[in-house]
Amino acid sequence: MARRVVTVFGGSGFIGRNVVKRLAAQGWVVRAAVRDPIAAEFLKPMGDVGQVTPLRADITDPKAVAMAVAGVDAVVNLVGILYESGRATFDAIHVKGAATVAAAAKAAGVGRLVHMSALGADKNSEAAYARSKAAGEEAVLAAFPGACVVRPSVVFGPDDDFFNRFGKLAMVSPVLPVFTADGFKPVCGEAGCSIDLFGSGGPIFQPVSVADVAQAIVQMLDDSRHAGKTFELGGPRRYSMKEVMELVMSSTGRQRVLVPVPFGLGMLQATFLQMLPSPLLTKDQVRMMKVDNVVRGGKPGLTELGITPTSAEAILPLYMKRYGKYAPAGGDKAA
C-alpha cells in the first residue's frame, strides 16, 4: 500500500512542528513547506529516514506553492502572522496566500485541505487581523469547497507566544497588565464605597493545547466526513485576562502586582510598542482583545472529533517553571 503524502505549509512553526510530528507518527510522508529549509532541518528526526523533508516554498509565490503540492494526497496550511511587517501584510498572507494554496491544491487534484484560521475571524471586526482571517476563509472555500477550516482559541504549549510572553514579563517586571473595559467603577454597599479596579477581569480566553490542535488536524485529514466543515477549538475552561495573569503567577511561583489598563491607555502604549522590530503589542492586537476569544457554539469542536480537551493547569507548570524564582538568566531557554 502506497504511503500517503502531505504538504504542511508553515511546518516549522509552533503548531506546524506538532502537526508534522503527529503526521509522521501516523505514517504520512511529510513535505514541510517553509521559507528556510535549513532552519527546518530539526523536523527530519520526527520521522524515519526520508519521511520528513523540508522544502522552500513561500505562499506568496504561486509557482513555489504549485511545486510543493504536486503529487500529494493532502495539504495543511498553517501560515499566519500576528502583526504586519513590510510585504508580509495580513492581506498578503491570510487572504491572497491562503487563496494561492487552496487554488493550487485544487488544481493538483489534492483530496484533503485543512486551513488554519482563528477564533474571532469576522469580516465586520474592528481589527484588521480578524477581518483578514474571515476573508481568508472565504477565499479558501471559494477555491476548495471541501476544505476544513480550523479556528483555535489561544494555543498553548512549550513554545507558545502567549503564556511564555507573560512569563518573560514576570521575570523582569514587578507588575503584570490586565486590559479592562469596565474597571475603575465605584461600588457602594452597606460597608461603604470602593473602586472596582478590574471590573469583569478583562477579555475572556479559552486556551487550547497545541497537542489537541495537532491531533484535530490529523483526524480531519483521515476522515472524509469532515470535509467542508469549520471547527472551533477551545480548551475545557475560560479565563478572564486577570485569571490568565494569576495562572502565570501560580505556574511560575512569582507574585506580581496586577495593574488594570483601560483600553484607551492600551492603545496609547501600543502606538509606541508596535514600532519595535518585534512588537510587544500593536494597536490591532488591542482591538482584538475587545472581543472575547472563546468558542461560540454552533460549530463542531474537539468533542465531535473525540478529543478530550487538555487543561492549561495540567501543562503550564511543566514549561512555565523556566520563569520561576530560581530560573537562570535567559529563562525562556531553560528546560
Tell me the per-residue pLDDT of 193-229, one tens digit each, with 9 for 90 and over.
Answer: 788 899 999 999 999 999 999 999 999 999 999 999 9
Domain coordinates of the chain in residue numbers? 5-152, 163-203+239-290+319-325
Amino acid identity of residue 243, one-letter, is E
C-alpha cell at 12: 516549522
Ramachandran region, residue 182 (left: φ > 0; alpha: ψ -120 to 50; beta: rest): alpha
Q: Specify the pLDDT at position 329.
A: 52
DSSP-assigned beta bridge partners for residue 178:
260
Burial 229-245 (b: 16+ CB within 10 A, else e): ebbbbbbbebbbbbbbb
Q: Hey, what CATH topology would domain 5-152 get?
A: Rossmann fold (3.40.50)
pLDDT of residue 335 exceeding 50, the answer is no
pLDDT of residue 257 exceeding 80, the answer is yes
Mean pLDDT of 249-264: 95
Q: Specify the pLDDT at position 236.
A: 97
- Cα separation, 193 vs 65, whole angstroms: 63
Pick from 72, 79, 3, 18: which is nearest to 218 by CA?
18
C-alpha cell at 158: 512549550
pLDDT of residue 308 exceeding 80, the answer is yes
Tell me the pLDDT tens digit for each residue of 137-148. 999 999 999 999
What is the pLDDT of the chain when averaged over all its residues? Answer: 94
